[in-house]
Amino acid sequence: KAGVTQTPRYLIKTRGQQVTLSCSPISGHRSVSWYQQTPGQGLQFLFEYFSETQRNKGNFPGRFSGRQFSNSRSEMNVSTLELGDSALYLCASSPPAGRGTDTQYFGPGTRLTVL
Amino acid sequence: AQSVTQLDSQVPVFEEAPVELRCNYSSSVSVYLFWYVQYPNQGLQLLLKYLSGSTLVKGINGFEAEFNKSQTSFHLRKPSVHISDTAEYFCAVSDSAGGSYIPTFGRGTSLIVHP
């Protein structure tokens, strides 16, 4: 099976712009989660989608949004970019087997740099 | 909400020496514990996980971890490290309390193996 893929791998944007990142989960996985990884804050949970519905949400401002399509592919959008949004954005998919027991399968991430 | 503490941000060690990476979590009725590894420019991948049963869990690449409920710890060990083990290691915990089962990640420990 192909792994989790994320596009693009690298992005450079300027403050005030918006950006859309894409994630294709492993075939058959219906849960997709997004994380922001920075040296200072570590891995922070953004949101999780399951069957096109946002099921869980982390503590991020409304500028961060996402959606999931019927084929389980997911996108996240960041509007009005700030310098502090520079980070590695990781997508993870999982085959929901039971609450809390699921292994997450991560993509390689999208490195976003905001200038 | 769960919290995870990885006590060491960086652990330098010589090749073929043993290593222990420490992880403590906040107490909960029922927890599931994970260790993930992140190699440079890659996403995270699962090393091992504890769901129930034997408190000693064996994972990939010769790693193992021991669940200690009384000390709320889940330390990762390897008896003899290799240069290729140089990576970032993340401890994560999830539970079913409150209906949210999204894993909480620690800040990570950078394992640096010297020749």
| Residue B99 pLDDT | 57
Residue from the list A35, A100, A103 with its beta carbon closest to the beta carbon of B95: A100
Residue B58, both tokens: 């064996």
Tell me the pLDDT tens digit for each residue of A94-113.
Answer: 987 667 778 899 999 999 99
Interface of A with B (CB under 8 A): 4, 33, 35, 42-43, 45, 48, 56, 58, 90, 92, 99-109
CA distances from A36 to A87, A90, A91, B112 (A): 6, 6, 9, 24
Number of Cβ within a 10 Å radius of residue A78 = 25
Given a cut of 80, is residue B80 above it in pLDDT?
Answer: yes
User: Which residues in chain B have their CB less than 8 angstroms from residue A99's CB?
Assistant: 96, 101
